[in-house]
């Protein structure tokens, strides 16, 4: 065999070995994936979601004993869980689903929220215990509040009393003041983000998913400059305009929240989002006492009929 033939034979053998090696790697990868899928099915086997519920991610199902789904938002599902590593403590676990918001920097937002909340320790702010990163997602581990959002009262056709409104002002106002003292702006104050447990007489400010520190450059990377974030009915005029915000924006949103809870009416209404946002900038607000008086008069007329 000539040197050229020997070289060609060596190249052929190397190619065959490479092909065998590649096939072995593919088989190993397929076996690993099958094992992962088997493990995921085993983790979810004990959990039976109710109709309309979303099963937890396999990572959350393996890490916690999932009891039930508490709620879901734009990019996460919250579950009531027991944590075996904390002696069976009952917790709320926010299971982050990046696939629910494709194109958004979900992981960065969530980690940012968790890091902010871990630094805040106030009786009026939901406590975050841990932030977990998984290969395909993440989760925020929080204290569980056995209560409902304050907008549940309005949704049930009830207005809160002035005394209860004063309590919200004191307790959530103090929580908001504490966050502001620590440089945190919430940016999404609304009735849905205030939980109240009638059973335990506890009120908490929740969902800091849009929060940021004053002047935090992280915000530049997570949203485009001038991008409007928040909930239209409760956004400040500055927030609507996409301007740089400080704590005064939260105070405006908190006022809009109390207005709605006390009167049963939003301070601005519109046929679409753009109409609502425009009114936030320009509409003259009707005093809440006037709304309450009209509502009482309407109730009296209805009763007389």
Domains annotated for the chain, with CATH where assigned, are 58-143 (3.30.200.20), 148-299 (1.10.510.10)
Strand-pairing partners, residue 97, are: none
**Count of beta carbons in the 10 Å neighbourhood of residue 33:** 10
- Residue 164 confidence (pLDDT): 92
Residues 6+ apart with CB under 8 A from 4: none
b/e 141-167 (16+ beta carbons within 10 angstroms → b): bbebbebbbbbebbeeeebbeeebbeb
Q: Name the nearest CA neighbour of 60 among 112, 145, 138, 172.
A: 138
Catalytic residue among 95, 188, 192, 250: 188
- Residue 299 confidence (pLDDT): 45
Phi/psi zone of residue 266: left (φ > 0), alpha (ψ -120 to 50 degrees), beta? beta
Q: Name the nearest CA neighbour of 298 among 256, 264, 258.
A: 264
Q: Name the nearest CA neighbour of 63 among 41, 106, 93.
A: 93
Angle formed at CA 250 by CA 246 and CA 254, multiple of 5 degrees = 160
Tracing tokens 């579950």 back to the chain, one arrives at 79
Do the Cβ atoms of 186 and 250 come closer than 8 Å? yes
Tracing tokens 């989760």 back to the chain, one arrives at 139
- Residue 15 confidence (pLDDT): 67
Q: What tokens were used for 81? A: 């869980």
Tens digit of each residue's pLDDT (9 = 90 or more) over 110-160: 777 778 788 889 999 999 898 898 887 889 999 999 888 998 866 666 678
Do the Cβ atoms of 105 and 133 come closer than 8 Å? no
In 3-state terms, what secondary structure has residue 266? Answer: coil
pLDDT < 50: residue spans in the chain: 36, 40, 43, 102, 218-226, 297-305
237: exposed, middle or buried (Cβ count in 10 Å: 0-12, 13-18, 19+): middle
CA 65 to chain centre: 21
- CA–CA separation, 142 and 135 (whole Å): 21
- Residue 51 confidence (pLDDT): 63
Q: Is 151 a catalytic residue?
A: no
Do the Cβ atoms of 176 and 168 come closer than 8 Å? no
β strands within the chain, DSSP E? 65-72, 76-83, 89-96, 128-134, 137-143, 148-149, 184-185, 194-197, 202-205, 212-213
- Residue 220 confidence (pLDDT): 39
b/e 66-96 (16+ beta carbons within 10 angstroms → b): beebeebeebbbbbbbebeeeeeeebbbbbb
Q: Name the nearest CA neighbour of 288 among 261, 269, 251.
A: 261
Q: Name the nearest CA neighbour of 19 among 31, 8, 27, 30.
A: 27
- Residue 36 confidence (pLDDT): 46
Q: Name the nearest CA neighbour of 140 among 105, 179, 100, 110.
A: 110
């Amino acid at each position: 065999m000539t040197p050229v033939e020997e070289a060609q034979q060596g190249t052929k053998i190397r190619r065959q070995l490479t092909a065998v090696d590649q096939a072995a790697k593919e088989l190993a990868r397929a076996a690993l994936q099958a094992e992962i899928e088997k493990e995921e099915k085993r983790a979810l086997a004990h959990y039976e979601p109710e109709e309309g519920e979303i099963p937890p991610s396999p990572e959350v199902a393996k890490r916690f004993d999932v009891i039930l789904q508490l709620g879901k938002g734009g990019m996460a599902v919250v579950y009531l869980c027991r944590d075996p590593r904390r002696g069976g403590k009952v917790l709320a676990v926010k299971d982050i689903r990046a696939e629910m918001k494709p194109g958004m920097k979900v992981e960065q937002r969530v980690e940012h929220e968790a890091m902010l909340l871990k630094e805040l320790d106030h009786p009026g702010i939901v406590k975050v215990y841990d932030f977990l990163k998984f290969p395909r997602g993440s989760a925020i581990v929080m204290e569980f509040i056995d209560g409902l959002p304050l907008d549940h009262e309005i949704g049930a056709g009830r207005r809160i009393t002035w005394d209860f409104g004063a309590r919200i002002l004191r307790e959530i106002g103090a929580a908001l003041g504490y966050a502001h003292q620590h440089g945190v702006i919430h940016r999404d104050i609304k009735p849905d983000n205030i939980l109240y447990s009638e059973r335990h007489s506890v009120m908490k400010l929740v969902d800091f998913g849009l929060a940021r520190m004053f002047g935090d450059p992280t915000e530049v990377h997570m949203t485009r400059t001038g991008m409007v974030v928040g909930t239209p009915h409760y956004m400040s005029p500055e927030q609507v305009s996409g301007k740089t915000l400080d704590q005064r924006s939260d105070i405006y949103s908190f006022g809009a929240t109390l207005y709605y809870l006390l009167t049963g009416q939003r301070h601005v209404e519109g046929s679409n989002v753009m109409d609502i946002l425009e009114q936030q900038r320009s509409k003259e607000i009707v005093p809440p006492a006037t709304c309450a008086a009209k509502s009482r008069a309407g109730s009296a007329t209805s009763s007389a009929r």
